Structure formats: structure tokens, C-alpha cells
Structure 1
Amino acid sequence: MTNNRPNIALVTPLKDELNNIDKFLDSVKNQSIPIKTLIIVENDSIDGSKEYLDRITELENIEQFKVININFEDTTYRVGKKYATIINTGFENLREEPFYDELDYIGILDCDVFPEMDYYKKLTGFLMNNPEIGISSGLIFTNEGKQHIANQNWVRGGCRIWKKDCFDQAGYRIAYTADTVSVALAHLKGWKTETLKSAKVISREVDVRFSNSSEKGYHAYYRGHTLLYMTLKSLYTILIKRKVKTGSTLLVGYMKSMLSRRPRIDDDKLRKYFKYYMFNKLIKKYL
């Protein structure tokens, strides 16, 4: 920490965000504390985003600004392992920086997510005062003030930060639902994860680019969730949230994945964590 000021590194995945770039960069430049580095990982943009970013060499309030350009054979927008690969590219590049050991916090900030001015001041203060918490985020709202996700206790993926010690110990895994997996990795290393309700970001609606309950059913199977857990989750979605199609498709996707023996995450400790997910949440410990 330099002069009692936290050193924060942010990684941003970006594809075809020309209309958002200026607003995004302004939200970072206007933070009430400086940002040590912002690494944008641009991939396969065709709307002029790459060329626009090429013209930016430095930004106020950001000590180092870097753009990495990568390409994929499949150029469509995809969450899952492709998103995790993009994020990990930024993390791997960050690890090679000479100032890496000086960092205090490492985060993800999606290009369609716009943090309030005190966002990182609030989060770093919160983490500094809670040594047991390794990952945190604020809550996400739309421009109209609607909260994105009902569960206020789930650490959001696109605007989270890790304490560097937690990041180094737990790591980041290229996997389906890498955000969920990274929380599990932190828990298995003895860290807690918690949202800061007073910290706020604005973003577009969740799943605007991707919404496929059947594939999310596979992701649950991939992680190692049990059939009982998925049945209860589907029933909750259908009966309580009144999303009949979403809940039923989620369970069907899980069942099809189970019957066809689709690949699962290749980590026994993680599969065990998700197998006992409900029990873990009840006892607040992680098997």
C-alpha cells in the first residue's frame, strides 16, 4: 500500500462496446481513489472498439493503462470458458508486471458496468476492516434503479475485487461459471466472501447477451451440484419466483447433462464442495 493508498488492478473484458467505452472509462477515471492499472482485454470487436482503444495512450487517475488484443476461432459472444479465458489473459499479463507484488487488490470490471465515484474506496475500506473476507463486490442496479439479482449476498462477478493474498492463494480457474468457481476456491482456502450493500454500480440488464437456462443446467452439473439440489432450486424458481419456463428448463438441462455424462470440472475438491453445497451453506464451513 503506497502512502496509505491501496494499489488496485482491474481487468476488463471487451467486445463490441464502442458505445460504452467513454462512459466506462469516465467511471474509472472519476473514482475517488486512483487506480494502479487498468488492463482491457479486447477480443474480436468489429464495431470499431479496437481502433478506438488504439488511440488512447493514457488516462487520468489511472497510473497504467494497457490494451491486450486477442482473437478466437469462435468470434461469437459467449460466457463460460471463453469469458474466463479472456479474464485469465488479463490476470496472467498482470502477474508479469514488475509492480505485481505491490498490489493490494485485484478485480474484474466489465465494460458495461459503471461504478459510483466512491465504489473502490468503499470496497477497499470494507476489506481492510474485515481481514477474513477475501472477495467482495457491491450491488448492481439498472439505470432505472432496479436491482439486478435478488440475492444481495452473492458477490457479483463483473465488479468484484479480491484481496491480493486471497487471489494468490485461491487463484482463478478457467471454467464454466468461473465467478462461482472462484468463490468456491476462496472458501476452500478459508476466506469469506461478502457483498458491501452500500457500494453500487450501474449496468444493463443481466443476461441481455446471454440467457440459456438449459446450458445453465449443464453448468450446475459441471460444477458438481446434486440432483436433489437442482430439483429444489428448480421448484423454487417455478413456485416462488414464478418463472416456470426458466425453472423447468434448468432442471431439464441438468438431467440431460447427467444422462449423457457430459464433462465435469476436473477438480475433486471443487466437485465435493458443490456436492455438499447446501450443507456447506448451513454450517458455514466448506467440506
Structure 2
Amino acid sequence: MKYIIITLVKNEFSNLLRTAKYVTEQSLKPELWVIVDDNSTDQTPDLIRKLRKNYDFIVAIQLPTNEKSYNSVTKYGYAIRYATNYVMLNYYDVYNKINYVGVLDADLYIPSNYYDKVIKLHESNKHIGIASGLFFEVLKPFTKRRGKIIKLRLYPWPISAAMIIKKECLEEIGGFPTVPQPDVAAMIKAIEKGWKIGVTTSTYAIHLRPRNLKTLINAGYGNYLLHLPLIKGLLQGLYNAIKFRYPQQVGLTIGYLIGLASRENKINDQIIHKYLRNINTSRIIKNSIIYSALNRKYINYKILEKFTKNIYYVIDQKI
């Protein structure tokens, strides 16, 4: 049950400070936590140096300065792959003994049992290649206040921002994809290779920074580049906006329209192209194992889906 974590940051001093607390308090510690700095101009580099001094399992690397400015649609996959290769070359002994590679965004809350629970899900079923906890999102921008009631929404899909990939699966799909929407691409490639996507109900991650319109436009543009079929690409944002009462989701449709207008060349990946053309992304969930590591019973996806319309109110002193 050995793993590493990779986190990409750019000007995220406050988020990284909070995330460092969550990572260092994990009940199952990582072999390495690789923090990839995309040439931050705030206090992030100073914080990374301080963290490295205090924790010997933290590794800091910087992306080459000749790369284009940070864009989560086009660069995220490249950065994760860059970090993975860095570990393989410079920490071969560690890479050789780990079983899992975790991807963790800096704007999440994860409880101290997160990696222990998700990896136990992996260990419970050899066919799971990618897994996460439940995915909650704060509905309004988060500000800390002791005892504040936080409004959350549960989504019925794996949280790519805190997913854990079995090393064998990662190697089988050719490494972390360097394409737009690399998390979706990774799951598609894993499914096509016969792996399952797992979600454990025994732990969770909370996205503390609601996705804004710009982020969703980028995601919609990425969907276009991935060959998402025209009808789904145009209707997905509108459908999500109505179903989840989340108006910003129309950004997916806007981004797809921008892609159509740009006529930019789509990615040349026949596996992803064929999958999205013949099936569409909903099969990622239909092929998923929704599993509880606590009671060891499979949970029907339809049952979980019913709760996505609910809004959860929690009082959390820790976030």
C-alpha cells in the first residue's frame, strides 16, 4: 500500500498551506509528495522551500520556463506526466516499490483517512485501476469561520482532482495522458484496457473553490478537442446547469462552441475518439464500481444518483 502524491500549483500560497496540513496528517503517509511549481510569482516558492525543510518526503520541482502559460486544459496532463517521469529518473527506488500514484489539486479538503480508505478500495478489487472518494463541491466561495454552515453538493462521479491510479494501470495506458481533459482520457483508456473505475463511500474530498465560468469554458473547449460528439458537446452544459442547478455549467457549451468556431485540430488519439464517438462519456460511470470499503457491499449507481439533487449542509470545524 505504498503511494506517491503529485500536486501542481501556480500562485496558490494559501491553498498549498492548507493542503500541506491535510497531506502531512494522512494516516497512511505517502512515500513522496511531489509539488510541481509552474513558475509561481507569489509566496508559493518560499512555502515550498519551507515545507521541504520540515518534511523529508516532500520533493519540489519546477516546470521548464519555456512552456506556455499555465492552462489546466492543455498543460495539466503534461505537468503530471513530467512529475511522474522525474520520480522515475531521480527516485527510482521509490518508484519501483510504490503501488499507486495519486493526483491531488491544492484547492481540496481531504480528511486524514482519505488515502487509506481509497487504497483499501483498490486492494479489495484487483480490477480497479483508478479510484477516489465521494466528490463534494462547495456551492459558494469558501471563507473560513468557526462553526459556519457549509453548503455542499454531491456529484455521482469520481473526483479526478484527488484520484489514485494503480501504477500497473498507469503504465498500461502509456502514462498520464498529455491531452485536454487528461483525467477523462485516463479513465477512458483504463476502461478500454479492461480496468474499472472505483468510488468508495467511506471517505470524500471537497472542492473548496467552485468551478467558475472560465474553468468550465476551458473544459468545454477540451471536450471539443477530445472529439466529444456534437450533440453531447452542445447539450452537456445546458443539461448539467438544469440538473444540478448550477448555471455556470453552461460554460461547457460555450467552450465547445468556441472550439467549433476555432476549427483547431482535434487530438489524434483513436482510442479516445472511438470511445466518445460510439459510447460517450456517461459509460465511464456505467463501467464504474461504486463500492463501500466499510460495509463491503456494492452500491447501485442509481441509488447514489438519487442523492445528487440533494444539497448537504454540514458544520465543519476543520476546513
Compared with structure 1, are the counterparts of its residues 147 and 22 closer, same or farther at alpha carbon in structure 2 (3 Å cutoff)?
Answer: same
CA contact (8 A) 2:36 2:60 kept: yes
Compare 63-72 and 37-46 and name the one that shifted more.
63-72
CA contact (8 A) 1:140 1:147 kept: no
The residue type equivalent to 1:218 in the other structure is Y
Structure 2 contact 81–176 (Cα < 8 Å) conserved: yes
- 2:16 corresponds to: 21
Distance 1:136 1:9 in 2: 14
- Which residue of 2 is the match for residue 3 of structure 1? none
CA contact (8 A) 1:139 1:147 kept: no
Q: Aligned in 2, Cα 1:114/1:175: closer, same or farther, shift over 3 Å?
A: same
Is 2:80 the counterpart of 1:87?
yes
Aligned to 2:46, which of 48, 51, 54?
51
- Per the alignment, residue 192 of structure 2 pairs with 188
Q: 1:49 to 1:215 in 2, by over 3 A?
A: closer
Please, what TM-score do these two structures have when normalized by structure 2?
Answer: 0.76
Q: 1:216 to 1:279 in 2, by over 3 A?
A: closer
Going from structure 1 to structure 2, the CA distance change for 1:123 and 1:242 (only over 3 Å counts) comes to closer
- Contact 1:12–1:110 (CA under 8 A) maintained in structure 2: yes
**After superposition, where does 1:115-134 map in structure 2 within 5 Å?**
115-134=110-129
Q: Which runs of 5+ in 1 are unaligned?
A: 1-5
User: Which residue of the partner structure matches residue 92 of structure 2?
Assistant: 98
Question: Gapped runs of 5+ residues in structure 2?
Answer: 143-148, 288-319
TM-score (structure 1 length as normaliser): 0.83
Return closer, same or farther for 1:119/1:284 CA change in 2, 3 Å cut-off: closer
- Counterpart CA distance in 2 for 1:35 and 1:245 is 35
Deviations 1:190-214 (A, max 9, x none): 1011221221223322325x62554
Letter in 1 for 2:272: L
TM-aligned CA distance change 1:212 to 1:9, over 3 Å: closer
Q: Which has the higher contact order (CA 8 A, sep 6+)?
A: 2
Taking only aligned residues, the RMSD between alpha carbons, in angstroms, comes to: 2.9
SS at the partner of 2:276?
A: helix
Deviations 1:226-245 (A, max 9, x none): 12323442452355445667
Q: Which residue number corresponds to residue 240 of structure 2?
A: 237
Q: Which amino acid aligns with 1:194?
A: G
Distance 1:20 1:238 in 2: 27
Q: Percent of aligned pairs with the same residue?
A: 24
- Which of 196, 201, 206 aligns to 1:202? It is 206
- Aligned residue in 2 for 1:42: 37
- Residue deviations 1:24-82 (CA, integer Å, cap 9, x gap): 1121111111211111001121112112222333555xx62210022445775521122
Q: Which residue of 1 aligns with 2:310?
A: none
